[in-house]
Amino acid sequence: MVNRLWRQHFGVGLVKSLDNFGKTGTLPTHPELLDWLAQEFVRRGWSIKALHRLIVTSATYRQSSAVSTVQGKVDSENLLYSRMPLQRLSAEQLYDTMLVVAGRLDPTPFGPPVRVTVRADGLVTPDGNAHGWRRCIYVQQQRKVVVTHMENFDFPQMNPNCITRRDSTVAPQALYLMNNGMVQGLADAFAQRASKEAGTDPGRQIEWIYLAALSRRPTRDEEQMGRAALARMAEGWSKHLGKAKPEPAEAARRALATYCHAIMNSAEFLYVD
């Protein structure tokens, strides 16, 4: 159990063969650490939450994923955990995160599963409600009807069982985030939150968006590029709307939604650094 939880946080277990702790499995890279964590797991009342807290508050977990010249030479495969491995959000984490930043997450716990809709174009989407959408863990899972988001982002395939998830980076993932109607709707809601929380000043909007989506403030260069991008996109939307005198507020709103959509498509939004 400890080994599997470690794998969730670091991408690989202290014993790489998750399903085989026998002689035919791989040896632990840090046997003393594995034994100590197992003892702590028992000592803390078999609490999974306590073990998660122990791992994520450790100096090892809180390292940067940046690779220095020395680390590249001495620990190129990161077997010594000299840095935090860069990891992409899981399908469930990405889905929930998009709902959170858009302010469309329905936190209602428990109850029956959320039904899904199979659209005419073949996409499978979870049903929403007046409060938004519930967490991905509550979405109905069927082997023959797989939610498109989950299928694109490496959901755990259960035929016959899933020992560990595959981790792929393929074109359909980017195309989904760019073109999916639900994602674009969440970007619109994200922009509405930014306008409500930060007002109409582009600088304040950019700072709020970075804090909400990336948990940091933008650098000076990022803010300047953001301002310039918003101005260009507002001008582009004004032309696209095709009116003799398009409403500046509408063009600015759409530009901000496009900017939020770009942030949700960025590598920093998808990966844990």
Residue 26 lies in a domain: yes
**Structural domain count, the chain:** 2
pLDDT at 244 over 60: no
Residue after which a domain boundary falls, among 43, 65, 85: 85
Phi, psi values for residue 200, rounded to 5°: -100, -5
Q: How far apart are alpha carbons 222 and 206 in whole angstroms? A: 9
Q: Do strands 133-134 and 105-106 pair parallel, antiparallel, or not at all (unpaired)?
A: parallel
Residue 94 lies in a domain: no
Residue after which a domain boundary falls, among 85, 117, 148: 85
Highest averaged pLDDT of the listed ranges 122-131, 181-190, 233-242: 181-190
Q: How far apart are alpha carbons 37 and 32 in whole angstroms? A: 9
- pTM, rounded to two decimals: 0.85
Instruction: Determine what percent of the chain is predicted with pLDDT higher than 70.
Output: 97
Instruction: Give per-residue pLDDT as tens, 3-37.
Output: 999 998 998 899 999 888 888 999 999 999 999 99
pLDDT at 243 over 70: no
Residue after which a domain boundary falls, among 60, 85, 110: 85
Instruction: Give per-residue pLDDT as tens, 62-101.
Output: 998 889 999 989 998 888 899 998 888 999 999 999 999 9
Residue 225 lies in a domain: yes
Q: How far apart are alpha carbons 142 and 157 in whole angstroms? A: 11
Instruction: Determine what percent of the chain is predicted with pLDDT higher than 90.
Output: 67
Domain range for 74 is 2-85
Tokens representing residue 7 in the block: 């794998």
